[in-house]
Amino acid sequence: MFKQSYVYGPVPSRRLGLSLGLSIVPGKTCTLDCIYCQCGRTSHKTLKRESFFPINDILVQVHGAIAGKRVDFLTFSGEGEPCLNKDIGKLIRRLKQEFTIPVAVITNSTLLTEPTVRRALYPADLVVPSLDAADQATFGRVNRNHRDLKIAEIIQGLGKFRRYYKGRLWLEIMLVKGVNDSVEELVKLRKAVALIRPDRVHLNTVVRPPAEKKAKPLSHDALEQIQMLFGPGTEIAEPTIRKQQREFKGDAKSAIIELVQRRPVTKKDIERSLGIKPEELSRVIGQLIRAKKVRLVEFLGKSFYEAA
Domain limits of the chain?
A: 12-236, 252-307
Residue-level pLDDT at 14: 42
Cα separation, 192 vs 232, whole angstroms: 15
CB 304 within 8 A of CB 259: no
pLDDT at 113 > cutoff 60: yes
Cα-trace Rg, the chain:
19
| pLDDT, tens only, 182-195 | 999 999 999 999 99
pLDDT, the chain, mean: 86
Cα separation, 53 vs 62, whole angstroms: 13
Handedness of CA 45, 47, 48, 50 (dihedral sign): positive
- What secondary structure letter does DSSP report for 124? -
CB 30 within 8 A of CB 295: no
State which CATH number among 3.20.20.70, 3.10.20.30, 3.10.520.10, 3.40.50.620 fits the domain covering 12-236: 3.20.20.70
pLDDT at 101 > cutoff 70: yes
| pLDDT, tens only, 145-191 | 999 999 999 999 999 999 999 999 999 999 999 999 999 999 999 99
Residue-level pLDDT at 261: 76
Q: How confident is the model at residue 8 (pLDDT cuts 50, 70, 90)?
A: very low
Pairing status of strand 168-175 against strand 294-299: unpaired
The CATH number of the domain covering residues in 252-307: 1.10.10.10
Q: Is the pTM of this model over 0.85?
A: no
